[in-house]
Amino acid sequence: MDNYFEIKDLKVGFKTFEGIKKVLDLEFLSICKGETFGLVGESGSGKSVLALTILGLLPIPPGIIESGQILYGGEDLLKKREEEMRKIRGKKISMIFQDPMSTLNPVFTVGEQIIRVIRNNEGINRKQAEKKALEMIELVKLPDAKNILIKYPHELSGGQRQRIIIAIALSCGAEFLIADEPTRNLDVTIQAGILKLIAELKKELKVTVLFIANNLGLVSAVCNRVGILHEGRIVETGTVKEVIKDPKHPYTVTLLKAIPANREEKIDLSRILLRRENGQETGGCRYFDRCPERSGQCSKSSPSLTPVDGSHLVACFKAFERSGINEQTAS
Amino acid sequence: MFGKMFSPEVLKPQIRELKLSIYLLNKNKLTRLSMITVILLIAFAILAPFIAPYPSHIYGIANPQDKLLPPSAKYIFGTDELGRDVFSRVLYGTRISLQTAILAVGLALLIGIPLGAIAGATGGYVDEIIMRITDIFLSFPPLLLAIAIAAFLGPNLQNAMLAIAISWWPWYTRLVRGQAVSIRERQFVKAAKAIGTPHFKIVFGHIVPNCIAPVIVQASMDLGGVILTAASLSFLGLGAQPPTPEWGLMVSTSRNYFLNAWWYSFFPGIAIFITVLAFNLLGDGLREIMDPKTRKY
């Protein structure tokens, strides 16, 4: 495991009238070159904030990066100046946004938009850029590329648009792709198509993908490893097999149960629907209020991410007990 | 700058869009009428020196034997106090008015659009500074400001044009800024940032093209207003100077002869009226086709 991409002790918050609200508190996250890492969490858990922070696009007046490091190829992205970051965006790290319906500029043809991005990053003339744009459209498996090139975004379907967006994201040769819920607002058939495309492109272009989703099922289909994000903290991480087959954290267990499927037993959703009302810091485990297995210790101190089984890391006292690990606490 | 040299394939949708626009403009009778009027006005403006029956009368010397003749077969709009053909002069006035209006509005757009886009897209102090300066200009009534500037610069047509542009740009700045603020938050702008597009290119490549539609509508309506303002300045003696055949100036001079020679003030006045009305109606029509919600196919 080489350290291709690493996040250490990242704390991000937002300034509000009630003081600083903590959004992200990541102890540790590492992604290896060439793998697909899935980040799963409910809405509001900080997934998109993480994506924006990596790219340096977090609006800084309300947002605050309190501490931490984001190491990419050995360099700390948080220490880079805006000008340096701009050169990394697109060329090294690229992003696919949630909503394919609004990510394209409505007043230009998609061809114009792809060509512009290509010309922006490579000093080639228009004819060459047009050729490259055609190649990119063929790469994302859209038929009749020539015809697509002259279409306006509103003339394309959601799936077609998302493919175009992927083409644009990859057209500057990015090697690290952040996909922030790329299949949101798409129906299941198109979802499957987009997921297949991302998997194929990964093989072809050898890109590393950070796949952000709120659906554990989706992630298990495309990813090598997953991290479960809960209120800004990673509570469990490991290979897909480890996490899905043998979930250690009660939150993961509930998430897995909540996937709608054909099953006989009724699922109790009351726990997962519970929310901490005001999100104040109690010093204890953030999952305490919703946890079915909570005990006295959980309200006093917060568990830190600890390996339980090879690459499988978890942050839960109960899980430690079960695996026979000495209690480890973090502040 | 943004690769406007389109190859034929990429150009096709633009042609299709243009055809759709022309089709829609033709749908509404009033819009069609105004469009035909505007095209005729432009034709007159270009051809004025060639189709005027008495080209020498346009800036010309006096021929007192024909002074203040009523409309007849020889002089269809009559003659003025110096015996010049009013028709030739009104015809040539079209050229002067359109030229003044297009240059003044163009200059105002040239100042207003970039400032508004930068203010809206950048936000913060930049926005604050640009918009407060704009507010200062907006706090004067536009005609009054134009009069003050024209009087300060000295009375001639170029200065009147400049004065109009200076009093007009803040409206465009405000219009564009409002659009830019909402477009800045759109997903495609964030996406453009995420792939490393420089701020300058985001402002002029993504934000400006997206807020141009209401500006076009506003500008086409303003052309009428600017013609009126230019005529007003000339009427007050702050714009075109004699012997320029400017409509406002002609109306101004004709005041002295109004009771005996109605044609002298009537025809330039009617020319101003038709031109302003045509541009306003065209603006209305453009608004209808630019906004898909009011579109009637």
Q: Does B200 touch chain A (CB under 8 A)?
A: no
Compute CA distances B255 → A24, B2, B61, whole Å. 77, 53, 21
- Per-residue model confidence as pLDDT tens digits over A83-122: 888 888 888 888 888 777 788 888 888 888 888 888 877 7
* Residue listed under structure tokens 């909402």: B182
Higher pLDDT, A274 or B214: B214
Report the DSSP pairing between strands A19-31 and A5-16.
antiparallel
Q: Does A196 touch chain B (CB under 8 A)?
A: no
pTM flag (> 0.80): no
pLDDT band at A14 (very low <50, low <70, confident <90, very high): confident
**Is A105 within 8 Å of B13 when comparing Cβ atoms?**
no
Q: Is A247 helix (H, G, I), strand (E, B) or coil?
A: coil
Interface of A with B in 155-184 (CB under 8 A): 165, 168-169, 172, 174
Check residue B111 and give its pLDDT.
94
Closest Cα in chain B to A83: B198
Exposure letters B33-49 (e unless 16+ CB within 10 A, then b): ebbebbeebeebbeebe
Q: How far apart are CA B50 and CA B44, in angstroms?
A: 9
Q: How far apart are CA B131 and CA B176, in angstroms?
A: 11
Work out the minimum CA distance from B291 to partner chain A, whole angstroms.
Answer: 14
* Residue listed under structure tokens 């996250």: A29
Q: What is the DSSP letter of A233?
A: E
Q: Is residue B243 reached through a cis peptide bond, with omega within 30 degrees of 0 on the bond before it?
A: yes
Check residue B85 and give its pLDDT.
87
Q: How far apart are CA A70 and CA A31, in angstroms?
A: 11
Residue B221 contacts residue B283 (beta carbons within 8 Å): yes
Q: Does A128 touch chain B (CB under 8 A)?
A: no
Q: Look at residue A295 and tell me whether its pLDDT is greater than 90.
A: no
Work out the minimum CA distance from A210 to partner chain B, whole angstroms.
Answer: 15
pLDDT band at A293 (very low <50, low <70, confident <90, very high): confident
Give chain A's radius of gyration (CA, Å): 21
Report the DSSP pairing between strands A312-314 and A306-309.
antiparallel
Kindly list the residues from chain A whose CB atom is less than 8 angstroms away from the CB atom of residue B201: 120
pLDDT band at A235 (very low <50, low <70, confident <90, very high): confident
Kindly list the residues from chain B whose CB atom is less than 8 angstroms away from the CB atom of residue A87: 196
- Per-residue model confidence as pLDDT tens digits over A44-73: 788 888 888 888 888 877 888 888 888 887
Q: How far apart are CA B49 and CA B38, in angstroms?
A: 18
Backbone angles phi, psi at B145, to 5 degrees: -60, -45
Q: Does A88 touch chain B (CB under 8 A)?
A: yes
Report the DSSP pairing between strands A176-180 and A329-330.
unpaired
Positions in chain B short of pLDDT 50: 1-6
Q: How far apart are CA B275 and CA B37, in angstroms?
A: 8
Backbone angles phi, psi at B163, to 5 degrees: -60, -40
Closest CA to A198 of A184, A214, A211, A216: A211
Give chain B's radius of gyration (CA, Å): 22
**Is A116 within 8 Å of B210 when comparing Cβ atoms?**
no
Would residue B282 be called left, alpha or beta, if left means φ above 0 and alpha means ψ between -120 and 50 degrees?
Answer: alpha
Average pLDDT over residues A173-202: 83
Check residue B14 and give its pLDDT.
65
Q: How far apart are CA A196 and CA A293, in angstroms?
A: 38
Which residues, other chains included, contact B117 with Cβ-Cβ below 8 Å and sequence gap of 6+?
B176, B177, B180, B203, B204, B207, B208, B211
Q: Among residues of chain A, what percentage have pLDDT more than 90?
A: 0
The number of residues making up chain B comes to: 297
Check residue B159 and give its pLDDT.
92
Average pLDDT over residues A4-26: 83
Q: How far apart are CA B230 and CA B246, in angstroms?
A: 9
Q: Is the ipTM of this complex over 0.85?
A: no
Work out the minimum CA distance from B122 to partner chain A, whole angstroms.
Answer: 12
**Is A150 within 8 Å of B206 when comparing Cβ atoms?**
no
Closest CA to A184 of A118, A107, A101, A246: A101
pLDDT band at A224 (very low <50, low <70, confident <90, very high): confident
Kindly report the average pLDDT of chain A as a whole number.
80
Cβ neighbour number for residue A206 with a 10 Å cutoff? 10
Q: Could you tell me the maximum CA-CA distance found in chain A, to the nearest angstrom?
A: 69
Q: How far apart are CA A326 and CA A241, in angstroms?
A: 25
